């Protein structure tokens, strides 16, 4: 069911410094910072030949990654995102198998304007997983 790894999201306390490290030190192609107020984050996209890294920094007072950075002040890998062909079918199958979908269980538009859901990390061995409709 899961398809491509769409991205790995890394929360960072200093977006400018992290962007410079990925661009200048690791030699990767990075985007400008993209504010995403609806998601409470500013994102820098790091383009790799086969997938993306997304550097996330909190935006606003209710950012969903603030708690993670409070626990991990240096930053860290926040989640992985797998693509699925049909997000509603994927959700229903996973719920039947006992996995918990975060929030109200309805997909919402994610950072790439496609429907996304998040699965509870306790059901996936400590890994927060985002599903995105391909």
- 127 C-beta neighbours (distance < 10 Å), count: 12
**Which residue in the list 32, 96, 106, 130 is annotated as catalytic?**
130
| Residue in 9, 124, 26 with CA at minimum distance from that of residue 78 | 9
Binding piece for a second copy, criterion CB under 8 A, among 1-9, 37-45, 58-66, 108-116: 1-9
Query: Is 100 exposed, middle or buried, given 0-12, 13-18 or 19+ CB atoms closer than 10 A?
Result: middle
Among 41, 44, 59, 94, binds a second copy (CB under 8 A): 94
Whole-angstrom distance, CA of residue 26 vs CA of residue 22: 5
Catalytic status, residue 130:
yes
What radius of gyration, in Å, describes the C-alpha atoms of the chain? 15
d(CA 127, CA 35) in angstroms, rounded, equals 25
Total site size for a second copy, rule CB under 8 A: 40
Contact mark string toward a second copy, 29..68, x via CB under 8 A: -------------------xxxx-x---------------
Which residues are tagged catalytic? 130
Residues that bind a second copy (CB under 8 A): 1-5, 8, 10-14, 17-18, 21, 24-28, 48-51, 53, 72, 74-77, 80, 82, 94, 97, 99, 121-122, 124-127
């Amino acid at each position: 069911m899961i398809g491509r790894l769409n991205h790995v999201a890394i929360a960072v306390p200093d977006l400018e410094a992290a962007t410079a490290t990925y661009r200048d030190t690791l030699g990767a192609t990075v985007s400008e910072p993209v504010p995403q107020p609806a998601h409470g984050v500013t994102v820098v996209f790091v383009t790799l030949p086969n997938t993306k890294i997304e550097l996330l920094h909190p935006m606003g007072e209710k950012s969903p990654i603030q708690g993670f950075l409070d626990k991990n002040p240096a930053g860290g890998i926040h989640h992985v995102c797998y693509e699925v062909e049909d997000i509603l079918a994927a959700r229903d199958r996973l719920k039947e198998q006992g996995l918990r979908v975060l929030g109200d269980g309805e997909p919402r538009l994610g950072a790439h304007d496609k429907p996304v859901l998040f699965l509870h990390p306790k059901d996936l061995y400590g890994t927060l997983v985002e599903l995105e409709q391909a």
